[in-house]
Structure 1
């Protein structure tokens, strides 16, 4: 059984980067809140609150972490001015078209972490960025970079482009492609057997990845070996669709019990910590507590009168 290695966070912060092609962050947030008992905040565009000076510096850093040769070891280089200009435009315009650039995932995560936490890592917030950018990590087994769907940490990164490109499609799809069959014809022939850009199933599928990010925050272990469980670490598109949409159950019995224990603990353990450490909280925390304690329209039952105090907010 997974063990809690960190206290339950006070909130789940969801960020977005770029055009997510219809991905419903509110829907994902409500799902996480329902499953875990931890309130969420839809923080929106990750770049919206930063100054031009900070975004200019970020553009230079982003331009320097592109993986130009997936088959070679990565090394930081001096980016061209055109590369910096591209990064500047895309972070200022959320609808900017993606051009299939692969970024070094660990360094990308570090840049995002610096933006969100500003050098003060907070375990009281589970932060997840959903991005339309493609990132990869170095595979020591075959000595090359591979695109990834997710990279879990502080914060966790989840790529909607990676969800399309990283898990392998059916083997025959690639054979037919090598034989010269037009890609659009193949997509039509294999429709439904893999996810594509703008796929209506994207939000539903990413619920499992969001839960993986949350479990990593709590335990450091986001995956399950049961292919029917949403926490299964899928490498093929068929596995993604099965574990997220067609499995025998949503979570395996082991993780179902863990999630129940998590929800039973939340939010009270977080609230006691929150009130003493003055961590930033959202009104949705109060909403959950009110529903648990039977508080309606701000009226506290007499049995609880004087025993309940609204969490403090910083600033």
Structure 2
């Protein structure tokens, strides 16, 4: 592996990330014991808040255009850096732009190829897809630093089709959304879901594989590197199968031998 040092940056508003568990998982899987740090936002400054506010997305059908933030938006990002639990409403951020902003926070002496940074955040990262000309939420923004969005894990993979049909049908009747979620409770992830620690392990695997091989995903739905677009596929690959396919297990063995 070209990586010999890994640094995790916490998202304190999501205790399910469980950095201690991820450190143990990474150590067992890759033979490297990561360092744990506070939220990367705590290492930023007022300029960082302004830059992050400028990476917000308001028109999902338009490729990235740098936003000119208001004073209120900048103030929100400053408060969010001090207390990330203030992110109650879902705001879209351009994933690559946010990645560049957060990369600038990392000390130059640690901005090396052999030091891999993994940033956990509750901000919803998105990328623009020219196949359908719109932004999509993403759980993972690859490269270094890698960003794993806990909100992206919840919101990006689609829920069951029947859920959306029921939601549209019953919303006209004033049916409680919480009751509807209860009906489909085991079929998709929710915020602070007990399954999140295991799911996050899978995204960490994808982040490391992408950085080491430039190929993060697998076509095999049983593999933890499967790029799930539906919650049911995510839960199957990460919770039921919970393993790498033969091809990627062999790649992992080669990586950890070098």
Smaller-chain TM-score bracket? over 0.9
Are 2:93 and 1:138 aligned? Answer: no
Are 2:69 and 1:79 aligned? Answer: yes
Cα distance change of structure 1 residues 119 and 145 upon mapping to structure 2, 3 Å threshold? farther
Instruction: For residue 28 of structure 1, report the CA deviation from its aligned partner.
Output: 1.1
Farther-moved stretch of structure 1 (26-35 vs 69-78): 69-78
Residues 97-112 of structure 1 mapped to structure 2, 5 A cutoff: 97-112=87-102
Are 2:244 and 1:251 aligned? Answer: yes
Using the alignment, how far apart are the partners of 1:213 and 1:137 within structure 2?
16
Of 137, 142, 158, the match for 1:152? 142
Cα distance change of structure 1 residues 187 and 21 upon mapping to structure 2, 3 Å threshold? farther
Instruction: For residue 73 of structure 1, report the CA deviation from its aligned partner.
Output: 2.9
Of 190, 195, 198, the match for 2:192? 198
The answer for the alignment partner of 1:37 in structure 2 is 31
The answer for the alignment partner of 2:218 in structure 1 is 224
Structure having the higher Rg: 1
- Deviation digits for residues 57-111 of structure 1, max 9, x if unmatched? 1111111111011122331132111111111111012332332110011100101
Instruction: For residue 118 of structure 1, report the CA deviation from its aligned partner.
Output: 4.0
Using the alignment, how far apart are the partners of 1:39 and 1:194 within structure 2?
31
SS in 1 for 2:207: helix
Q: Is the 8 A contact 2:54 2:69 kept in 1?
A: yes
SS in 2 for 1:218: helix
Are 2:18 and 1:24 aligned? Answer: yes
The answer for the alignment partner of 1:215 in structure 2 is 209
SS in 2 for 1:235: coil
- Deviation digits for residues 245-291 of structure 1, max 9, x if unmatched? 112x61111111121222233xxxxxxxxxxxxxxxxxxxxxxxxxx
Using the alignment, how far apart are the partners of 1:95 and 1:68 within structure 2?
22
The answer for the alignment partner of 1:175 in structure 2 is 165
Q: Is the 8 A contact 1:11 1:38 kept in 2?
A: yes
Using the alignment, how far apart are the partners of 2:148 and 2:87 within structure 1?
18
- Deviation digits for residues 142-191 of structure 1, max 9, x if unmatched? 11111111110111111111111000000010011011243211110001
Instruction: For residue 18 of structure 1, report the CA deviation from its aligned partner.
Output: 4.8
Of 1, 4, 8, the match for 2:2? 8
SS in 1 for 2:205: helix
Query: Which sections of structure 2, spanning at least 5 residues, go unmatched?
Result: none
Cα distance change of structure 1 residues 120 and 191 upon mapping to structure 2, 3 Å threshold? closer
Of 74, 81, 85, the match for 1:95? 85
What number of residue pairs does the alignment pair up? 254
| TM-score, structure 1 as length reference | 0.77
Are 2:62 and 1:69 aligned? Answer: no
Cα distance change of structure 1 residues 102 and 119 upon mapping to structure 2, 3 Å threshold? farther
Using the alignment, how far apart are the partners of 1:34 and 1:98 within structure 2?
35
Q: Is the 8 A contact 1:62 1:108 kept in 2?
A: yes
Q: Is the 8 A contact 2:154 2:191 kept in 1?
A: yes
Cα distance change of structure 1 residues 65 and 119 upon mapping to structure 2, 3 Å threshold? farther
Q: Is the 8 A contact 2:2 2:212 kept in 1?
A: yes
Larger relative helix fraction: 2
Using the alignment, how far apart are the partners of 1:96 and 1:103 within structure 2?
16
Pairwise CA RMSD: 1.6
